[in-house]
Structure 1
Amino acid sequence: MGWPRGLYSALLLALTPLIWRRIRREHALTDSRHTPRELRLGRIPETPSGERMLWLHCASVGEVLAARPLIEALLERYPDHRLTLTTMTATGADRARALSASRDDGRLVHHFIPLDFPLAAARFVERLGPELALFFETELWPNLLHACCSRGVPVAVINGRLSSRAFRGYRRLRPLMREALACVDWLAAKSADDAERFARLGMAEEGIDVVGSLKFDITTDDNALEVSERLRTCLGERPVWVAGSTHEGEETVLLAAHARLRESHLAAGFKRCSEALLVLVPRHPQRFDAVAALCEQAGMPVARRSRGEWPEAETAVYLGDTMGELLTLYGAANLAFVGGSLVPIGGHNLLEPAALGVPVLTGPELANFEEVAEVLRRADALVEVVDGRALAVVLTELFADPAERRRLGEAGRAVVAANRGALERTLNGLARLLPAK
């Protein structure tokens, strides 16, 4: 073991009590019959002899959703293989299990990724026995990568993303990252900037291709769209906007903007803005109750989707406190604000509402989606605001201008359509590591 990975592993062991505390909190969100220790130490059933396995790792919900087209394409292109999808978070696990349950062939299975302890990583890879390992975006775990490398498992980083902020952090660990990236056979970068940053960390340039973002290959579920249409019809003519994937410190600002909107004048094509409805969808389920309390403290009558409550005429906020329904809720709205962008999180997927033809609004914090934001900007398909007051003004203006809403929605949908293709380029690159049989 090289000294960077040895030092890294020793630090992980020293932090074990804190790590297990975090893991227990995560697993409290699931109904798993296994203990966190079993799940996180790589104690999975061994893949039966003769069974062919692919492995894809995604961190959480957003990555699982973005990887869905790739998951479906891998299962179609490699019909003799099963696919193990691993996640770090419990919410990501719920989404992965929902994808697995939607299939009737048993070829998609979920496991939690083991903690990156050397023995746990080695045990997991040994028992899983994948023919190909795929890590999504910035999921670079040195001991897991080494475990693959030492067992001759080809490794690819898919939809490779490295923001300037993440790069500055990784640069301090350059010896460790150089050792980890030496185990990567191919890196499919989202952009030329991402490719350059990975190369500066130590990834061999001949092993990097710029393929674009898989997020542009987003798929829309017909059943979800039908639910969106029914929901929109039931909501009537009132102005409706969604704030999706919101974070702590952001909901207070959004509720204040919503209050200003409801105090504004008539919106063209709608009843009074005083009847405007905010569909609020927090990013993390453990915060659902706290966000509901924030709405009540702000004097906003709230209906909770998880309880089957319906937003009546006097309801100001419809709390989307369910999992896996964000696209459905986006599709029922006139406007969509994408969260994680009014607080220093780095933003979330701007393309989800754009793909549905819903105008996209965002705050200034877009480090994680800067390249996507730039594509939308060039097409004049993104509305950016600096704070809550500016958001309230923009909401009022757009609800009064149906032609501009229509133009924004059509421009966003066109951007998504024009930039598809990363999926096919990714599959072609993977075929060099594991040709289709």
Structure 2
Amino acid sequence: MSDGLAKVVLAAYGWAGLAAYPLAGSVLAYRTSKGKEDRARRDERFGHPSVPRPFGPLVWVHAASVGETVAVIPLMRELRRRDINVLLTTGTVTSAEVASKRLGDTVMHQYVPLDLRPAVRRFLDYWQPDAAIAVESEIWPTTLLELRRRQIPQILVNARMSDRSFARWQKRQAVAEALFGKLALVIAQSDVDAERFRDLGSWPVSVSGNIKVDGDAPPCDETVLERYRKQVGSRKTWAAISTFDGEEKSAVMVHRALKAHTGLLTIIVPRHPERADEIEAMMVERGVNVARRSRNDPITPETDIFLGDTIGEMGLYLRLTEIAFVGRSLSAEGGQNPLEPAMLGCAVLSGPQVSNFRESYQKLLRAGSARIVKDTEMLAKAVHFLMTNDLARIKMMDAGVESMQEMRGALMATLKGLEPYINPLTVKARLAPRAVSGT
């Protein structure tokens, strides 16, 4: 595809967005009915603000969902420490809840505007960001082109490029170069990711590692944790976290296979808690007793499964076990981030489909803190082995914590790469008079 044709394709994308704009309200209404949009804040998706813009320099940070939001929290805290205002946008209700719990009112939160020209322009006219920072892999054509038109630098941090996304962009090389070439800077998680962004037209590109490693361990309410620990007592536990459809069934099969030998409690934390009713029905049909966190159910001696169907409590669930299977890796593809369980000292298990987090898994596997299982039967054997072999389990747990320490440093590398953009804003913020503008 030629450069000229790429421009035509991007122009057509923009015009198609304008044509679709009148229908956007109906689409959002449907998503709201499914619990995927916040009814009270739906106008934010059209670029309408719900909070005043503060006076002074402002950096717009966009994190699509929960994982990206958690990853960028340390960076946002550093920006605030430098007196730079931070506007965080996210695309999901769950990520908004996590941001509220973790950050409170230290940053402003809005839902990201739809990638439609009227919404994007309304959003940028109001917020007037000095820079835009997107996390991991968020590329929205209309937004990127509008930022470039206004000479607002867009930077991609903690950037990663999955096998599937890279193959898809390669088929549209000219379009990719027309978009990725407009990024002011890409700071990638790994050398492989960096090379892929360069191949697609990004420049300059640097490597930082994963900034999530530099964050705090997932928090939890100590009172709630102590209550559940007393209820669990001396029972052996394992957790299946960030699970996708099909993986909960595998976890139940593992539980039923091992319960007679170990008397264990299985903790299941689905990636999408809105599936909890469906998951519980499946479990009850298979004859297991379920306690749900969202109902504040107690864990009794008769409880088989503790269903972690809440947002922002991964720290609680992981502190109740020493063995964690990380989902989206057996019956779904791509994997989920294994760093949180490793950080909290869990032995990590995963299915083989981990292409989205290949670098993290390679490091954990080399350190001996993670193991790959190919199917449900192998998962059951691995859980049983770790439960009954204290030395092997503790060795994996210790290796995970040590690996996390060795992997730190990504935040400092990211801040160093951002210096040309944020240092002038820091100076401006600290010299400016304190005031609030309603512009």
TM-score, scaled relative to structure 1 = 0.90
* Deviation (angstroms), 1:172: 2.5
For structure 1, the 5+ residue unaligned runs are: 266-272
* Deviation (angstroms), 1:94: 1.7
Go from structure 1 to structure 2 and tell me whether the alpha carbon gap of 1:352 and 1:226 turns closer, same or farther (over 3 Å shift): farther
Q: Does 1:341 align with 2:347?
A: no
Q: Does 1:93 align with 2:96?
A: yes
CA contact (8 A) 2:38 2:93 kept: no
Go from structure 1 to structure 2 and tell me whether the alpha carbon gap of 1:408 and 1:15 turns closer, same or farther (over 3 Å shift): farther
Q: Distance in 2 between matches of 1:402 and 1:70?
A: 37
Q: Does 1:250 align with 2:239?
A: no
CA contact (8 A) 2:208 2:414 kept: yes
Write out aligned runs for 1:293-312 (5 A): 293-312=281-300
The amino acid that maps onto 1:256 is M
Q: Does 1:193 align with 2:192?
A: yes
Go from structure 1 to structure 2 and tell me whether the alpha carbon gap of 1:110 and 1:27 turns closer, same or farther (over 3 Å shift): farther
Q: Which moved more, 1:361-370 or 1:4-13?
A: 4-13
Write out aligned runs for 1:120-159 (5 A): 120-159=119-158
The amino acid that maps onto 1:71 is M
Q: Which moved more, 1:300-309 or 1:249-258?
A: 249-258
- 1:93 is paired with a residue whose SS is helix
The amino acid that maps onto 2:375 is D
Q: Distance in 2 between matches of 1:19 and 1:362?
A: 39
* Deviation (angstroms), 1:314: 1.1
Q: Distance in 2 between matches of 1:304 and 1:6?
A: 49
- 1:242 is paired with a residue whose SS is strand
Q: Does 1:282 align with 2:263?
A: no
Q: Does 1:111 align with 2:116?
A: no
RMSD, aligned α-carbons: 2.2
| 1:172 aligned partner | 171
* Deviation (angstroms), 1:215: 2.1
Q: Which moved more, 1:91-100 or 1:111-120?
A: 91-100
Go from structure 1 to structure 2 and tell me whether the alpha carbon gap of 1:19 and 1:48 turns closer, same or farther (over 3 Å shift): closer
Go from structure 1 to structure 2 and tell me whether the alpha carbon gap of 1:373 and 1:226 turns closer, same or farther (over 3 Å shift): farther
CA contact (8 A) 1:26 1:90 kept: no
Q: Distance in 1 between matches of 2:276 and 2:320?
A: 21
1:226-281 superposed Cα distances (whole Å, 9 cap, x missing partner): 75455334311111111111111221122111111113x3xxxxxxx1x2111111
Q: Distance in 1 between matches of 2:164 and 2:24?
A: 24
Q: Distance in 1 between matches of 2:126 and 2:409?
A: 34
* Deviation (angstroms), 1:97: 2.4
CA contact (8 A) 2:17 2:117 kept: no
Q: Distance in 1 between matches of 2:224 and 2:40?
A: 34
* Deviation (angstroms), 1:397: 1.1
| 1:369 aligned partner | 357
| 2:205 aligned partner | 208
Write out aligned runs for 1:341-360 (5 A): 341-360=329-348
Q: Distance in 2 between matches of 1:86 and 1:209?
A: 24
The amino acid that maps onto 1:251 is E
1:296-330 superposed Cα distances (whole Å, 9 cap, x missing partner): 01111001111111111111000111110012211
Go from structure 1 to structure 2 and tell me whether the alpha carbon gap of 1:45 and 1:400 turns closer, same or farther (over 3 Å shift): closer
Q: Distance in 1 between matches of 2:249 and 2:50?
A: 46
Q: Does 1:72 align with 2:77?
A: yes
1:100-128 superposed Cα distances (whole Å, 9 cap, x missing partner): 43xxxx44111111111122212212211
Q: Distance in 2 between matches of 1:399 and 1:407?
A: 13
Q: Distance in 1 between matches of 2:287 and 2:22?
A: 41
Q: Distance in 1 between matches of 2:243 and 2:26?
A: 25
Count matched residues.
419
Go from structure 1 to structure 2 and tell me whether the alpha carbon gap of 1:181 and 1:70 turns closer, same or farther (over 3 Å shift): same
For structure 2, the 5+ residue unaligned runs are: 1-5, 428-439
The correspondence for 1:34, drawn from 26, 36, 40, is 40
CA contact (8 A) 2:231 2:300 kept: no
Go from structure 1 to structure 2 and tell me whether the alpha carbon gap of 1:287 and 1:121 turns closer, same or farther (over 3 Å shift): same
1:170-217 superposed Cα distances (whole Å, 9 cap, x missing partner): 22333332222222111100011001111111112xx10011111221
CA contact (8 A) 1:341 1:363 kept: yes
Go from structure 1 to structure 2 and tell me whether the alpha carbon gap of 1:25 and 1:236 turns closer, same or farther (over 3 Å shift): farther
| 1:270 aligned partner | none
Identity of aligned residues (%): 34
TM-score, scaled relative to structure 2 = 0.90
Q: Distance in 2 between matches of 1:139 and 1:292?
A: 33
- 1:34 is paired with a residue whose SS is helix
Q: Does 1:163 align with 2:162?
A: yes
Go from structure 1 to structure 2 and tell me whether the alpha carbon gap of 1:169 and 1:237 turns closer, same or farther (over 3 Å shift): same
The amino acid that maps onto 2:146 is A
Q: Distance in 2 between matches of 1:26 and 1:171?
A: 31
Q: Distance in 1 between matches of 2:22 and 2:254?
A: 42
CA contact (8 A) 1:100 1:109 kept: no
CA contact (8 A) 1:341 1:364 kept: yes
Higher relative contact order (CA 8 A, sep 6+): 2
The amino acid that maps onto 1:382 is A
